[in-house]
Structure 1
Amino acid sequence: MTAQAAQCYADPVLAYEAMIAERVQAQKVAARININTATAAQFATLQGVGVKTAEEIVLYREMFGEFARIEDLMKVRGVGKATLEKNRARLAVLD
């Protein structure tokens, strides 16, 4: 439970808004693609990433190990700065 959720609200409208804000944030985090565990099919859902590039990302990860940061995706042939920026909000680096 976050500090916001544990807070007591006298106004039920404020309590409801806080609850909704917390759920929206949790959904955003859950919707992110972990670049260290994603499948080619998951990568292919990104803007500007086709099946071939998605497979290249997975192959690169298998050959060189996990990515340390999101920008490391640009080491993969077919992933440039524009593609990375279009998808940055959907990507995460998790162990």
Structure 2
Amino acid sequence: MSIAYSHNAQAEPCFDNVQSAYNYLLQQEKLELQARTQMGVNINRANEGELTSLNGIGSSKAQAIILYREMFGPFKTIDELAKVKGIGAKTIEKNRARLQVQD
């Protein structure tokens, strides 16, 4: 009898075939993406990974947001995000429901 240990805190289910395992992984990925897209992002505290979860924000724009924050201090409004090079009103509007400016 062999015992498999998972490095995760939660035990992973066992599957009787590859297709079931694949479907499970797809579902987990879908749930994770859904959680990320529903979660609010505080642009005054978010790290690069959190910022890149926003629609239209890649690594370079996320770094530009962080740099702007470091140079000019925290954002006072969501619309102030448009002062960051490469971020326009359309990007802000696509993400407005998720954006926050808490200190």
Range into which the TM-score falls when normalised by the shorter chain: 0.5 to 0.7
Q: Which has the higher helix share?
A: 1
State the match for 2:78 in structure 1.
Answer: 70
Q: Which of 31, 50, 59 is the aligned partner of 1:51?
A: 59
The sequence identity of aligned pairs, in percent, is 49
Shift of the alpha carbon at 1:84?
A: 0.3
Which segments of structure 1 move beyond 4 Å, counting only runs of 4 or more? Answer: none
Counterpart check, 1:91 vs 2:99: yes
Shift of the alpha carbon at 1:78?
A: 0.9
The one-letter amino acid paired with 1:44 is T
> Which entry has the higher C-alpha Rg, 1 or 2?
2
The one-letter amino acid paired with 2:67 is L
Structure 2: gaps (5+ residues)? 1-34
Q: Would you say how many aligned residue pairs link Structure 1 and Structure 2?
A: 67
Structure 1: gaps (5+ residues)? 1-26
Where 2:45 maps in the other structure, the secondary structure is coil
Q: Normalization by structure 1: what TM-score?
A: 0.67
Map Cα deviations across residues 3-50 of structure 1 (whole Å, 9 max, x no partner).
xxxxxxxxxxxxxxxxxxxxxxxx9xx821111100111111111111
CA-atom RMSD, angstroms? 1.6
Determine the C-alpha separation between the residues in 2 that align with 1:40 and 1:62: 13
